[in-house]
Structure 1
């Protein structure tokens, strides 16, 4: 089975070689590496073109106008020839065995979509912070259903937003079901394609093993920006697009799905509010945040919940560290 890997790139001249390099060491060599230059204004095209002279699998597509990540991925999908299509962001990497393991799992389970766990990476600290979600149960993989996908796509209400998982697709499935990324949304477009895929009846299998190195925009350890992300965060647009889902018959007719979509919308509302609060805190100090909380009980409740979760996570981390320290001591 052959794999086409699509790498959208925008103003990525300083780091665009990293993603293709991780593909050149795959145990299952990709058929082609399609880099879609999304009308960059820097030397991205020149850097990729130079790399293509050394590796004939690298194909460069130059878009005349900036279409955003969704449009760039769509262009790559249209140009792909592989049996499977994998997506790789320009600031991320694959573990060497990723394609081989995911294609094998897809063939064994007859899945249309295969994803894996994430290795969350702080680029400034140069450390893997954690995995996207914790392994639960004995089964090495599980099916992602419409219900579980929506439940795990609600911002900070869940451990890992399943909309962030990076898929490999059967190209035949994408073409036959006319699945594509929305071009009107430039942040969170992944969620809508995956939702459309599930609504169309696609089988999605996810392994608990992690092979995708996902670079954080803001490092959990370093507290510094990676400097590589080109995504313009827009939670309001994401929320508006989520609210529009309630008009779709497959969702509006199902009380459970309606509730899950509303939950996601509420989670995005909080992410947007938190972002504004952080800006206010940095510019005006903590008193300004307290004033907002005093005026808006919803914000106050969410701030309290956010702080409680942060303290709980730190206490859990300290507990795990203490347990590991004891277990590493020799028995007497």
Structure 2
């Protein structure tokens, strides 16, 4: 097992994340920490972890390149039969790797993932996927994945899952992350794998602990991030072809991306004190208006908390 940990200013969480990877049972493990230009002392923490255990290796990006660039270094340096992503602020349970490998062998899967447990300060701990799965696991086809992986949806997006991929698949597909993406890089990689005919199974059991906090990259969708995701989505449309792109499963994903970009653009314009331009952006894509519900509710909850503290 080769764990790729892309680290950017996650020094306070890095040691527990690495420890959880090293504690995997029933498998041989290596941990590849790739520091992505941290300024918080993460490198010193990583160096100490590498000195303490030969299974830990430290690499550094030349410039801050985001999770995709850091993971590509790990892909090039991995020695294991399986590649697994572990975010520097997350944790995994000791039996995760063995359980997922057993599922992959049983179902002849090319890559696998499990449910997540969302946790963190002031976060109600709960499983990410809440819908029941027959047998405790299921195969995700490209159609099913498209139907469920919709930007800013109220339903759980499988693009947040953390797949484990066979090394032979990585080599056969010459697999690398899209380094233009700062958010959504896992989703885009999964789509390319599925579109190439590789099989994907997801276990309902939550063995990955997904920490949610204010600094989490995936919780901050800037206009630049959204525009990069849209550019990647155009390439996905070219990859799958017009017939599949016209199916309801994909068309819904495409509309969600268009809506999400319009919403993010309007938020950006409001931050730049251009309310009229923000309103025009919403008028051009009115389906984006309901997305304001969550930020408005969040602002209301903050006002209520402040009132209670007075």
TM-score bin (small chain): 0.7 to 0.9
The offset of 1:98, in angstroms, is: 1.0
Query: What residue number does 1:64 align with?
Result: 62
In 2, distance between residues paired with 1:76 and 1:295?
A: 41
Query: In the TM superposition, what whole-angstrom CA distance separates every residue of 1:80-111 from its partner, at most 9, and x where no partner exists?
Result: 11111111011111122211211111111111
Counterpart contact for 1:243–1:262, Cα < 8 Å: no
In 1, distance between residues paired with 2:9 and 2:172?
A: 33
Query: What aligned pairs does 1:280-295 form with structure 2 within 5 A after superposition?
Result: 292=279
Of 144, 156, 160, which aligns to 1:160? 156
What 5-or-longer segments of structure 2 have no aligned partner?
A: 298-310
Counterpart contact for 2:68–2:182, Cα < 8 Å: yes
Query: What residue number does 1:125 align with?
Result: 122
Structure with greater helix share of residues = 2
Counterpart contact for 2:22–2:30, Cα < 8 Å: no
The offset of 1:295, in angstroms, is: 7.1
1:74 equivalent to 2:64? Answer no
In 1, distance between residues paired with 2:220 and 2:289?
A: 24
CA 1:178–1:96: 2 relative to 1, 3 Å: same
Root-mean-square deviation (CA, aligned residues, Å) is 3.0
CA 1:13–1:272: 2 relative to 1, 3 Å: same
SS across alignment from 1:178 = coil
Query: What aligned pairs does 1:1-332 form with structure 2 within 5 A after superposition?
Result: 3-121=1-119, 123-125=120-122, 127-128=124-125, 130-157=126-153, 159-217=155-213, 225=214, 227-229=215-217, 233=221, 234-248=225-239, 250-254=240-244, 256-257=246-247, 259-275=248-264, 292=279, 296=283, 298-299=285-286, 301-304=287-290, 307=293
CA 1:210–1:295: 2 relative to 1, 3 Å: closer
Counterpart contact for 1:33–1:59, Cα < 8 Å: yes
Query: What residue number does 1:327 align with?
Result: none
The offset of 1:25, in angstroms, is: 2.7
The offset of 1:235, in angstroms, is: 1.6
Query: In the TM superposition, what whole-angstrom CA distance separates every residue of 1:143-190 from its partner, at most 9, and x where no partner exists?
Result: 111101111111244611111110001011111121111112222111
CA 1:75–1:305: 2 relative to 1, 3 Å: closer
Counterpart contact for 2:177–2:189, Cα < 8 Å: yes
The offset of 1:260, in angstroms, is: 3.9
CA 1:199–1:282: 2 relative to 1, 3 Å: closer
CA 1:127–1:305: 2 relative to 1, 3 Å: closer
Counterpart contact for 2:262–2:282, Cα < 8 Å: no
The offset of 1:142, in angstroms, is: 0.6
In 1, distance between residues paired with 2:128 and 2:184?
A: 17
CA 1:71–1:297: 2 relative to 1, 3 Å: closer
In 1, distance between residues paired with 2:129 and 2:61?
A: 35
What 5-or-longer segments of structure 1 have no aligned partner?
A: 218-224, 312-332
Instruction: Report the count of equivalent residues.
Output: 291
Runs ≥4 in structure 1, deviation > 4 angstroms? 275-284, 304-308
Query: In the TM superposition, what whole-angstrom CA distance separates every residue of 1:211-263 from its partner, at most 9, and x where no partner exists?
Result: 1111235xxxxxxx2x3548863222212221232223x32233545x54442
Query: What residue number does 2:308 align with?
Result: none
